Amino acid sequence: SSNRKRQIDQAILKCTIEAGLPFSLFNHDSLIELLDTLEPRYKPPDRHTISLRIHDQYFNHMHDLKSVLPHIGPIAFTSDL
């Protein structure tokens, strides 16, 4: 179903972002075979679609941050280099 496809697509997007995986990984023949074994009718998004979705998520998160930051107090960032 289209809901199941959205769930899997979202899991692929999350995995790609959080694990720092290359966008093309889910179009590799071996991974396509694995996905076909798990969900025969599923077709993974191509690297261009993954790139666009990451771009969209980035701007959604930036918008959320920009709407929240003015309403909180001072923030301090630290870093060890």
pLDDT at 29: 93
pLDDT at 58: 93
Q: What is the pLDDT of residues 54-81, one digit of tens each?
A: 999 999 999 999 999 889 888 888 998 8
| DSSP secondary structure string for all residues of the chain | -HHHHHHHHHHHHHHHHHHT--GGGGGSHHHHHHHHHHSTT--PPPHHHHHHHHHHHHHHHHHHHHHHGGGS---------
Domain borders along the chain are: 2-68
CA quadruple 47, 63, 65, 3: dihedral positive or negative? negative
Mean pLDDT of the chain: 91
